[in-house]
Amino acid sequence: MTSTSDERRITTALFAAGLTTFASMYSAQALLPSLSAAFGVAPAQAALAMSLTTGFLAMAIVPVSALSARIGRTTVMTWSAVVSAVIGLLLPLSPSLEVLLAGRALQGVALAGVPAVAMAYLAEEIGGDGLGAAMGVYVAGTSIGGLSGRLIPAFALDLTSWRWAEAAIGMAAAGCTVWFVRGLPPSRGFVARPAGMHSVLSDIGAPLRHGGLLALFGLAFVLVGGFVSIYNFLGYRLTRPPFELPAAVAGSVFLLYLAGTLASTAAGRWADRIGKHRALAASVALMGVGVLVSIPDQLIVVILGITLCTAGFFGAHAVASTWVGTIAPGGAASSLYLFTYYLGSAIVGGTAGIAYAKGGWVGLAAGVGALLAVAAVLVWYLAIHARRGFETASLVCAAPTA
């Protein structure tokens, strides 16, 4: 049984893992307007620096998760963090946008190891009543990592070019990687499993036959797709009329990610107390209110709306990811959740540029609103069936196969 001190070490190490992974992943988001200017490309094309990373990460999630079942969760997470940090330090040297995009795609593959394994690792090492709080701390680390990955380059842009801005976040991510690797304790709950094709297909098939998990997978796709779309094009909105803010000032809006840090931790605890479906419904509703509030062209109102949207999204993600780990403690369900999560980020976050180009922020908000309507239906399904034994019935899905 994991001791309290070991649980603290695990939680702290996974917090650092969230920092380095999401700082690297989202470092390009604050740079998108600068990349458009530097390479003379449209916002939708510059947004590929985000979409390619999350898209390739999504494709690597399941294979990496299967690999972790054979060689160990901690080994995969360690190599993932180290390789992605090295690539991040090389990105500022890219001679062209095409090389930068290729590097971002490779970094997406390298990054996959931490998010693919973290939820399964926590479920194996902690589990029980403490899982919600531990997952909330990990998600809090991802929110601060996302904040740092956006904020550090945004501030650096006020003094220098996008290359030095990217270098600054690369060095910060490398420092967090050292913190994570040095602090991660050996796994105690991991049991090695075969990772052959038959085993992988069996693991993937079981969660896909579970109604509750399918709803959570769909929820991940639509929520992160809408959320990433908002932040992908928020910088363009704030640096253009009627706001016309300097890049560094516009980048300050990423401080709103702190709302996600608080909300993810609080939502994880509230889910343990009042029920996951209630906490999830409240988080999705809060995100919807935030999208509506962000529409008027008044800076204070926009900031309030983005704050509510950020808090709602991270609260929902913390609860949904915990629920997946509760239903199916094995790695297959968690990896499928993350697959749909990052696939939504890549597909919706990229194609939202069409809505923004045609309808501005109102068009983007309408698209996100449609996604939230789908999310509301999925939450309703989960609430209706929450008392029908999702967790009990799922133990068969999560059982190891020979």
- Cβ neighbours for 130, distance < 8 A, ≥ 6 positions apart: 7
C-beta of residue 260 within 8 angstroms of C-beta of residue 336 = no
- Helix, strand, coil content of the chain in percent (nearest 5): 85, 0, 15
What separation in angstroms does the CA of 358 have from each of 164, 259, 355, 371? Answer: 33, 30, 5, 18
- The confidence score (pLDDT) of residue 334 equals 75
Q: Give the DSSP letter of residue 31.
A: G
- Choose among 337, 324, 320, 340: nearest CA to 398: 324
- The confidence score (pLDDT) of residue 393 equals 43
- Choice between 390 and 133, residue whose per-residue pLDDT is larger: 133
Q: Average pLDDT for residues 332-355, to the nearest whole number? A: 88
Q: Model confidence over 27-68: pLDDT tens digits?
A: 999 899 999 989 999 888 999 999 999 999 999 988 888 888
Please say if the pLDDT value at position 395 is more than 50.
Answer: no
**pLDDT grade, residue 391 (50/70/90)?**
low
- The confidence score (pLDDT) of residue 197 equals 55
Buried b (16+ CB within 10 A) or exposed e, 157-167: beeeebbebbb
Buried b (16+ CB within 10 A) or exposed e, 345-358: bbbbbbebbebbee
**Integer Cα distance of 254 and 256 in angstroms:** 5
Q: What is the number of other CB atoms lying within 10 angstroms of the CB of residue 381? A: 17
- The confidence score (pLDDT) of residue 330 equals 59
Q: Give the DSSP letter of residue 185.
A: P
- The confidence score (pLDDT) of residue 252 equals 85
- The confidence score (pLDDT) of residue 202 equals 67
Q: Model confidence over 61-119: pLDDT tens digits?
A: 888 888 888 888 899 999 999 999 999 999 999 999 999 999 999 999 999 999 888 87
Q: Average pLDDT for residues 320-336, to the nearest whole number? A: 78
Of the ranges 15-19, 62-66, 170-174, 285-289, which one carries the lowest mean pLDDT score? 62-66
| CA angle, residues 313, 317, 323, in degrees to nearest 5 | 145
What is the longest distance spanned by two Cα atoms in the chain?
62
Q: Model confidence over 215-243: pLDDT tens digits?
A: 999 999 999 999 999 999 999 999 999 99
| CA angle, residues 26, 32, 33, in degrees to nearest 5 | 150
C-beta of residue 122 within 8 angstroms of C-beta of residue 12 = no
- The confidence score (pLDDT) of residue 399 equals 31
- The confidence score (pLDDT) of residue 298 equals 96
Please say if the pLDDT value at position 191 is more than 70.
Answer: no
- The confidence score (pLDDT) of residue 392 equals 44
Scanning 186-256, the segments in alpha helix (DSSP H) are 197-208, 211-239, 247-251
Q: Per the confidence metrics, is the pTM higher than 0.85? A: no
Which DSSP helix (H) or strand (E) runs through 114?
A: helix 113-125
